[in-house]
């Protein structure tokens, strides 16, 4: 758990970054919630915020640390590179969740969601942050610079949000209709839509398919770790 502890200490001691990462989401969320905009629009904005926060927050630091040679020095100590990436991901997910907690609480207070809805929302945020960080890891393993990482992060996070049905409802029976339940940001979209727009989910929220996809991302991140940190 060396990497997990190290990332925690770095995040805690970088008070300026910690402050901005906590306050800016609140400043962003507050006017959106209080704007009186249609619930479906507010929902889309909030889902994009959480998705991009996780993806960017994972990919950019990973690219920076790779370019500096820090990660390769860790690997030279004998640490399994795949496990190191996953341990680092757990640290980043926990840090992201805590930094976004004030914004999440603001959403719950303004929408006045019930206890059950609040719990589902917090769980889906955590799951989305985990999936977003895994996507960020894969982005970092493909990008050759921070600029490329930012571009790929924007593209993939927005595309995954689109596949989750946030921007448009797919035609029943189409390929997108089949893919939609598997996307990792779909549960977050449904939980936020329930809070903001009051749209209940018939039969409840099923996390099975999105969890299967996230598990696949986890395995892919582990396998990608060696080629990313050793071969490049």
- Enumerate residues 6+ apart whose C-beta is below 8 A from 75: 81, 84, 229, 230
Per residue in 79-106, pLDDT (tens digit) is 888 888 899 999 999 999 999 999 999 9
Lowest mean pLDDT among 9-18, 174-183, 215-224: 9-18
pLDDT bin (cut points 50, 70, 90) of residue 230 is low
**Residue 201 reports pLDDT greater than 70:** no
User: pTM for the full model?
Assistant: 0.90
Cα dist from 44 to 37, 143, 146, whole Å: 11, 27, 26
Report d(CA 224, CA 217) in Å as an integer.
10
Average confidence (pLDDT) over 165-182: 87
pLDDT bin (cut points 50, 70, 90) of residue 113 is confident
Lowest mean pLDDT among 1-5, 88-92, 112-116, 149-153: 1-5
Write down the mean pLDDT value for the chain. 88
Per residue in 180-191, pLDDT (tens digit) is 999 999 999 999
Tell me what pLDDT residue 3 has: 73
pLDDT bin (cut points 50, 70, 90) of residue 232 is very low
Closest-CA residue to 104 (of 177, 171, 176, 191): 191
- How long is the chain? 232
Contact predicate 69/143, CB 8 Å: no
Lowest mean pLDDT among 1-5, 79-83, 198-202: 198-202
Tell me what pLDDT residue 108 has: 95
């Amino acid at each position: 758990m060396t990497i997990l502890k190290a990332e925690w200490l770095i995040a805690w001691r970088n008070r300026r970054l910690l402050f901005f990462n906590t306050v800016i989401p609140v400043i962003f969320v507050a006017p959106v919630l209080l704007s009186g905009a249609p619930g479906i629009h507010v929902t889309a904005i909030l889902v994009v915020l959480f998705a991009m926060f996780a993806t960017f927050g994972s990919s950019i630091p990973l690219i920076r640390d790779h370019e500096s040679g820090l990660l390769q020095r860790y690997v030279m100590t004998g640490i399994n590179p795949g496990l190191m990436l996953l341990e680092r991901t757990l640290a980043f997910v926990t840090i992201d969740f805590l930094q976004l907690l004030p914004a999440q609480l603001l959403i719950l207070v303004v929408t006045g969601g019930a206890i059950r809805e609040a719990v589902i929302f917090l769980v889906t945020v955590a799951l989305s942050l985990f999936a977003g960080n895994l996507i960020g890891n894969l982005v970092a393993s493909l990008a050759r610079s921070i600029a490329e990482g930012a571009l790929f992060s924007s593209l993939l996070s927005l595309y995954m949000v689109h596949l989750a049905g946030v921007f448009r409802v797919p035609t029943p029976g189409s390929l997108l209709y089949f893919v939609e339940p598997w996307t990792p940001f779909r549960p977050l979209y449904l939980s936020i839509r329930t809070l903001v727009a009051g749209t209940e989910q018939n039969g409840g929220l099923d996390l099975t398919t999105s969890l299967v996809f996230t598990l696949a991302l986890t395995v892919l991140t582990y396998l990608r770790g060696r080629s990313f940190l050793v071969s490049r």
